[in-house]
Chain A
Amino acid sequence: MSTTPAAIVLADGTTFEGEAIGADLPGGLGTGEFVFNTVMSGYQEVISDPSYAGQVVTFTSAHIGNYGVTPADDEAPSVHCAGVVVRDLARRRSNHRSTGDLDGYLRSHGVGGVAGVDTRRLTRHLRDHGAMPGAFGTASERELRDAAASAIGTDGRDLVATVTTSSVSVHPALGGAGRRIVALDLGIKATIVQQLVELGEVHVVPASTTAEEVLALRPDGVFLSNGPGDPGAVALVPDTVAALLGEVPIFGICMGHQMLATALGGATHKLPFGHHGGNHPVRDEATGRVEITSQNHNYCVDPDSLSGIEVTHVNLNDGTLEGFRSTIAPAFGIQYHPEAGPGPHDSRYLFGRFADLMDGGR
């Protein structure tokens, strides 16, 4: 039961004590933007979600690792998050699905972290002062402090370029009447691909794919995926989307939603500490129904900056925009994660709306 003391130092100098978990980090430290996620299950999906690139994820749920890990729950082949902070890492896993434990998983993916932390204090700090950069690890407090001071957040960084695929992959349809969907990979999650193949054959293409290249695949619809970081810093994609608008039905999720809004001339801004969890209520303005949603974003679209759109979904906690559709072109965007993985399945109907949109365009 021997543990190695580790600590967290945030950019504002706030420190937290704990013990090291996961991979041994070069120089005994890691840096990233500290955020918190409130899901009570689904840690593996969160950790392997490419949207967390550059971020250190703090889980508010007290026990993490209880049911181990399994390749079936990976959202991407590699892990892009910068670190993991937990109150308690399970010593022993217990679940028939699991093939390994979380600590080993973190090690094999080169991800470090800190356990034993007063994560509630950290969460309250981030809530009150906003997501902020910081450093963590087994290095000396001085080294951590220096690293924290120079650590950078996600603002102004094009993190999509660091996670997008380098080659095209084709996923055969499991349903969907011969539709073809091109998915622009901005950091796409495996669960999204699983939902899309129910609608048709899916071509996952790099973020740098041009509109001409996309259209050359003769898609019935174009999907814009989730992805990490600052939408304002993402190169090329908004131009690509602008060129596709009106040519083909478009559905964007998360970063994809923000790219769609940017292409339509809209602006995005950073939320104080973002939305990361599986319990946010969102109202579908068309039906009045409330859905419990899986969320993971730090930035959001300013609805007033957009024209020619209709707001379709609103977050009931803070009133922020969660979905819109273009009244000019066949396109709609959803800020949260209707695919779930992790999180509730309440919003999967939106993939059906995408199918309807594609079929309407035929």
Chain B
Amino acid sequence: MPRRTDLETILIIGSGPIVIGQACEFDYSGTQACRVLRQEGYRVVLANSNPATIMTDPDFADATYVEPLVAEVLERILDVERPDAVLPTLGGQTALNLAMELSESGALAERGIELIGANAEAIATAEDRERFKQAMIEIGLSVPASGTAHTMDEAREVVARIGLPVVIRPAYILGGRGTGIASTPEEFEFVASRGLAASPISEILIERSIAGWKEFELEVMRDRADNCVIICSIENVDAMGVHTGDSITVAPAQTLSDVEYQQMRDAAFACIRRVGVETGGSNVQFAVDPRTGDQVVIEMNPRVSRSSALASKATGFPIAKIAAKLAVGYTLDEIPNDITRVTPASFEPVIDYVVTKIPRWAFEKLPGADSRLGTQMQSVGEAMAIGRTFPESLQKALRSLEQGRGGLNADPAEVEVDGVGTEELLAEVSVARPDRIHGVESLLRRGVSVERVHEATGIDPWFLDQMLAISEERAALVEEHGTGVEALTSMDRHDWRRAKRLGFGDGQLAWLFGVDEADVRAARLAAGVEITYKTVDTCAAEFEASTPYHYGTYEDTTEVEPSGRDKVVILGSGPNRIGQGIEFDYCCVHACFALAEAGYETVMVNCNPETVSTDYDTSDRLYFEPLSVEGVLNVLDAERRSAEEGGGRLVGVIVSLGGQTPLKLAGSLPSELVLGTPPESIDLAEDRDRWNSLCARLEIPQPAGGTATTLEHAREIVERIGFPALVRPSYVLGGRAMEIVYDEAGLEAAWVAIAADGSLGREGGLAAERPVLIDRFLEDATEVDVDAIRDRTGEVVVGGIMEHVEEAGVHSGDSACVIPPVGLSPETIAVIEGHTRSIAAALEVEGLINVQFAVKRVGADDPAAGTGGQVFVIEANPRASRTVPFVAKATGVPLVKVAARVMCGATLAELREEGLLVPPTAGSHVAVKEAVLPWSRFPDVDALLGPEMRSTGEVMGIDRSFGLAFAKSQLAAGDRMPQSGTVFFSLADRDKRVGLEAARRFADLGFELVATAGTAAFFEEQGLSVAEVVAKVQRAEGDPEDGSDGVALIEDGRVQLVVNSPRGRGPRADGAHLRNAAGRAGIPLLTTAGAASAAANGLAEWISEDLQVRSLQSYHRDPTPAPGGGSG
């Protein structure tokens, strides 16, 4: 069946901001879909609020709407663009939910728009748990047995039928209160009666517990001729009970016999057919009882998922691309397999290696959060590694996480688990937590049996034995070769090969032998043991592959082909983490595109399966490898050789686009290969003393400060500069462990957190070469971010100047910001531009630089301000910043493409001539970037902004005025501002003045105001009346339950918006109760006066103006305001 010709325009819905559970895998899938559908000749309209994505690049769609992903906005887009169909299966749960909403409200039907990929009926069948369960039972598949009960007698009947253990959940209870697991009749009596008591309708759901069962996933594709194939099987190392997104997973499945696998395959097909997903990809999850082999279906996603992205990278089969083609009518046998080119996509990939995925969490950034892993996903990113065997891929994946680990222990950090007693450690590993796997290895190494560890963890004995093989090898290495340099000479080719084939990194071997990593590398190469690169080809080498998608392993021969072209290696940004995410993948991908257009062969190195950069057709060559010194040096060697053999040239390696990850490697790479800004300048910008003298020489004012390696020294500095002070470690991204301290106690606490035994210990810790930076904190200042490019001739182009909405002190990644600046005078902007130019020149930047400034508000007096004027430079980073994609989308200038060319020697003048460097769009639109924070996932964490970044993603609001753009950004971030009602103010003294302005605006808009005593008094004093004064924030024990306290006000739904700026941080602070109450009640919360002020202004316009949507292409092609647009 050929492609459908009755469709012309297709709307693809993206997944919005990066949040936990929905990350850049949907940028990958959406980007593929956009490309494919345009190649097929369709007009593609895209809606996605996330400016950091590659898919929202104006080149990928005919009309790109960076607008809030809510139904009313989507309807406007439907009206403007009149698509024939909506494709909702490539934008995660967000897109699926929106499509369902539009379908149910009739918005699609009344416009004659069709859902393609999955219809509403199929989505509902898969998403509604009860409906899904019934559907599975109907086709004869097993699901966990369950029943409901209203009395203990009924409960006993149910459990007699389904057997113990069971999970008991009371009905109509939020947050899991009264839920429990019962394994014995006694426990059952207790938990069931407790559950019945907890439920307001005396109803409990009793379900067979499958915790401890093995968990599997199958990725299925189906076309409209009903051809079904399995793309990949995935087995979880962690047993049922840990969310699959939080589990270590392996592809292909390792412990299923063919009989069991085929049974599962048949069930997956039956499932997708019954649910009714007509075309595209779905994943079906199964649990298997290890004792009996009983299989049950857990759930299915009727769309491309995180697992689909993993499966695509694991097999080389581009699920999203194929799903998009199937959605427009092709059948699998009509689509060629890109990798072999000669065989069709209607097959099942086979792989001759093992893929391991390990999640990365951010608990260190979320003090107070419970790090136990469970049924709700908490990880923020993941690394994937490919090895020929499980031990090799496991160790590579652990290295790829970039959490200071060399692999599965055998590194300095192992002391942490090795120091724990065996019984205690056995108890520890029985609870899944981020580092559990290292504890498991430590136990195996001590001789604790596989059986015992299996019993404690539920991890399959096969996986445990593979880990034991790693432990045994490490013992054998030291036993056979001793330690020190003699060990290196004692290792022969066979020995090296054996160790490397089990995945030991040179760093681990260096630690085991007590020598330098460089010496290990030299000795290994001298023994003739070099890495070989094999190819991911979907077919285990049965057919020739035409895509050089490689992974490193230690085998006989390498498959890297000679090349005759000039090549540039681009280092990616590794696993997503808070502070380093999709923005940097955007940068790396853009560099690939720009350099490919300029005729270079592009070589990508990365280990994040969610990204566009690890798509095999983004670069000319892809190495799916850890971004470690060893990993990158190996790739450079292979590429140098490929160039030598093919007559090409290895031009160099780009380290400045992937965030901190590649930058940290720069110093260990051959300096002649590092393109762009010299590594020396990167150090100069990071080295506080040298940076200070540079600023002094340039006569650019800085906040007073100093560097310290001891607490004593830190106290001396603070004595000199005064409180408040900003305390932060050097060489970190995302404000890791950064704190503003207001007193001596705060300084001490911050110091402990940073010092070696604190949470930063494993990330490198505190050392003389990595001192702590202490600066005077500028209160009442506006922060400004600048992204600029300088070329080798010294010309500087300022890409964008962003004014932060929140006051200085909130991490730039967590702060909303606006382009163009709305509160800076032309003079101030000129000063900022001038400073940026001179800093870029002094750092000899070739490529991108980001500079952060603080602008002291007029009238504010501060002894630390000195005499240098009002603009202070905070820091400069000669690399791509997080804001670059936002700037590009706001201004229409492809900054990274320009920068990549500049790094390879082009001048800005040449690029202007070429048409790549264009002037910023001259329109009167305003773009606001807003951060999206993970508070809802971590109810125990105080929802406060501060100098340490905690946001997982961002959205952009773009409109004809600042107020409207800000309002859109809030809506896009998930905070729907109330249009009427009551606003609750509770402000710290320093915020009262700005907060008053906001309160006035809210009052003008007809809102009632309530406030805590101090705030109310200030408002009244300034002539603003407050409807109710809240005497207490929270009811103390013994107080009457009269609902007069702040928490009660929020919980009772009597306020619609909370504005609370912190006096201090932590559970004891009053504000925390208010913030947590707002979080629980789902009431919008603003924690800075700046944000409150922007929100009040935005709301005023939002209420009075029409909702308008406009594509980026329209903004940048036709910079005049859209008809009917207000001037703002």
Residues of A within 8 A of B (CB): 1, 16-17, 36, 38-42, 44-45, 60-63, 66-67, 70, 72-73, 87-88, 90-98, 118-121, 123-124, 127, 277-281, 283, 288-290, 292, 316-318, 340-345
Known A-B contacts A66-B462, A92-B461, A96-B293; the reply to A60 vs B346 at CB < 8 A is: no
Q: Report the separation of the CA atoms of residues A98 and B331 in the bound assembly, to the nearest whole angstrom.
A: 39
Which residue from A63, A120, A316, A345 sits with its C-beta under 8 Å from B262? A345
Task: Contact check, B472 vs A1: say whether CB atoms are below 8 A apart.
Answer: yes
> Is B62 part of the contact surface with A, judged by Cβ < 8 Å?
no
**A interface footprint on B776-802 (CB within 8 Å = 1, 0 otherwise):** 000000000000000000000000000
Taking the closest CB of chain B, its distance from the CB of A298, in whole angstroms, is: 14
Which residues does chain B contribute within 8 Å of A97, judged by CB atoms? 257, 259-260, 293
Q: Report the separation of the CA atoms of residues A66 and B555 in the bound assembly, to the nearest whole angstrom.
A: 22
> Is B697 part of the contact surface with A, judged by Cβ < 8 Å?
no
> Is B469 part of the contact surface with A, judged by Cβ < 8 Å?
yes
| Closest chain A residue, CB of each to CB of B534 | A120
Could you list some 29 contacts between A and B, CB below 8 A? A36-B542, A40-B351, A41-B253, A41-B258, A44-B257, A60-B540, A60-B541, A60-B542, A61-B352, A66-B254, A92-B450, A95-B256, A95-B293, A96-B293, A119-B352, A120-B534, A124-B541, A279-B347, A288-B225, A289-B225, A290-B331, A316-B346, A317-B344, A317-B543, A318-B343, A342-B258, A343-B258, A344-B262, A345-B265
Sort chain B's interface into a size bin: 35 or more
> Is B460 part of the contact surface with A, judged by Cβ < 8 Å?
yes
Which residue from B266, B332, B390 sits with its C-beta under 8 Å from A345? B266
* Total residue contacts A-B, CB cutoff 8 A: 167
Besides A60-B350, A67-B257, 9 other CB < 8 A contacts? A40-B350, A41-B257, A41-B258, A60-B352, A61-B352, A72-B259, A95-B255, A96-B290, A343-B258
Q: Report the separation of the CA atoms of residues A289 and B227 in the bound assembly, to the nearest whole angstrom.
A: 6
Q: Report the separation of the CA atoms of residues A191 and B185 in the bound assembly, to the nearest whole angstrom.
A: 44
Taking the closest CB of chain A, its distance from the CB of B240, in whole angstroms, is: 16
> Is B465 part of the contact surface with A, judged by Cβ < 8 Å?
yes
| Closest chain B residue, CB of each to CB of A94 | B462
Q: Report the separation of the CA atoms of residues A62 and B551 in the bound assembly, to the nearest whole angstrom.
A: 15
Which residue from A1, A73, A289 sits with its C-beta under 8 Å from B259? A73
Known A-B contacts A41-B261, A127-B541; the reply to A96 vs B347 at CB < 8 A is: no
Chain B facing A: main interface SS:
loop
Which residues does chain A contribute within 8 Å of B354, judged by CB atoms? 62-63
Task: Contact check, A292 vs B534: say whether CB atoms are below 8 A apart.
Answer: no
> Is B349 part of the contact surface with A, judged by Cβ < 8 Å?
yes
**A interface footprint on B283-325 (CB within 8 Å = 1, 0 otherwise):** 0000000111100000000000000000000000000000000
> Is B539 part of the contact surface with A, judged by Cβ < 8 Å?
yes
Task: Contact check, B258 vs A73: say whether CB atoms are below 8 A apart.
Answer: yes
Which residue from B257, B389, B542, B543 sits with its C-beta under 8 Å from A88? B389
Taking the closest CB of chain B, its distance from the CB of A279, in whole angstroms, is: 4
CB under 8 Å from chain A, chain B span 236-256: 252-256
Q: Report the separation of the CA atoms of residues A343 and B227 in the bound assembly, to the nearest whole angstrom.
A: 17
Task: Contact check, B555 vs A277: say whether CB atoms are below 8 A apart.
Answer: no
Which residues does chain B contribute within 8 Å of A88, judged by CB atoms? 388-389
Q: Report the separation of the CA atoms of residues A70 and B541 in the bound assembly, to the nearest whole angstrom.
A: 29
Q: Report the separation of the CA atoms of residues A1 and B460 in the bound assembly, to the nearest whole angstrom.
A: 21
Taking the closest CB of chain B, its distance from the CB of A77, in whole angstroms, is: 19
> Is B188 part of the contact surface with A, judged by Cβ < 8 Å?
no
Task: Contact check, A120 vs B390: say whether CB atoms are below 8 A apart.
Answer: no
Q: Report the separation of the CA atoms of residues A92 and B261 in the bound assembly, to the nearest whole angstrom.
A: 20
Which residues does chain B contribute within 8 Å of A17, judged by CB atoms? 556
Task: Contact check, B541 vs A94: say whether CB atoms are below 8 A apart.
Answer: no
Which residues does chain B contribute within 8 Å of A120, judged by CB atoms? 352, 388, 534, 540-541, 555
Q: Report the separation of the CA atoms of residues A41 and B257 in the bound assembly, to the nearest whole angstrom.
A: 6
> Is B353 part of the contact surface with A, judged by Cβ < 8 Å?
yes
Known A-B contacts A38-B350, A62-B389, A120-B541; the reply to A292 vs B229 at CB < 8 A is: yes
> Is B519 part of the contact surface with A, judged by Cβ < 8 Å?
no
Q: Report the separation of the CA atoms of residues A342 and B257 in the bound assembly, to the nearest whole angstrom.
A: 9
Which residues does chain B contribute within 8 Å of A87, judged by CB atoms? 352, 388-389
Which residue from A60, A316, A345 sits with its C-beta under 8 Å from B333? A316
Which residues does chain B contribute within 8 Å of A41, judged by CB atoms? 253, 256-258, 261
Known A-B contacts A281-B347, A289-B226, A290-B227; the reply to A73 vs B257 at CB < 8 A is: yes
Task: Contact check, B540 vs A96: say whether CB atoms are below 8 A apart.
Answer: no
Task: Contact check, B556 vs A92: say whether CB atoms are below 8 A apart.
Answer: no
> Is B557 part of the contact surface with A, judged by Cβ < 8 Å?
yes
Taking the closest CB of chain B, its distance from the CB of A356, in whole angstroms, is: 22
| Closest chain B residue, CB of each to CB of A124 | B541
| Closest chain A residue, CB of each to CB of B557 | A121
Which residues does chain B contribute within 8 Å of A40, judged by CB atoms? 233, 252-253, 261, 350-351
Q: Report the separation of the CA atoms of residues A246 and B349 in the bound assembly, to the nearest whole angstrom.
A: 41
Task: Contact check, A277 vs B389: say whether CB atoms are below 8 A apart.
Answer: no
Which residues does chain A contribute within 8 Å of B450, judged by CB atoms? 92
Point out which of B265, B542, B544 has the most chain A C-beta atoms below 10 A from its C-beta: B542
Task: Contact check, B350 vs A118: say whether CB atoms are below 8 A apart.
Answer: no
Q: Report the separation of the CA atoms of residues A343 and B252 in the bound assembly, to the nearest whole angstrom.
A: 15
> Is B348 part of the contact surface with A, judged by Cβ < 8 Å?
yes
Q: Report the separation of the CA atoms of residues A17 and B291 in the bound assembly, to the nearest whole angstrom.
A: 38
Task: Contact check, A281 vs B333: say whether CB atoms are below 8 A apart.
Answer: yes
State the 4 A-B residue pairs at the shortest beta-carbon distance, nearest first: A42-B258, A60-B540, A342-B258, A92-B465
Known A-B contacts A63-B354, A289-B227, A292-B347; the reply to A277 vs B542 at CB < 8 A is: yes
Which residue from A90, A93, A124, A277 sits with its C-beta under 8 Å from B350? A277
Q: Report the separation of the CA atoms of residues A119 and B501 in the bound assembly, to the nearest whole angstrom.
A: 14
CB under 8 Å from chain A, chain B span 888-915: none
Which residues does chain A contribute within 8 Å of B331, judged by CB atoms? 290
Task: Contact check, B255 vs A279: say whether CB atoms are below 8 A apart.
Answer: no
Q: Report the separation of the CA atoms of residues A118 and B555 in the bound assembly, to the nearest whole angstrom.
A: 6
Task: Contact check, B348 vs A292: say whether CB atoms are below 8 A apart.
Answer: yes
Which residue from B348, B349, B388, B556 sits with its C-beta under 8 Å from A62? B388
Which residues does chain A contribute within 8 Å of B252, judged by CB atoms? 40, 61
Task: Contact check, A343 vs B262: say whether CB atoms are below 8 A apart.
Answer: yes
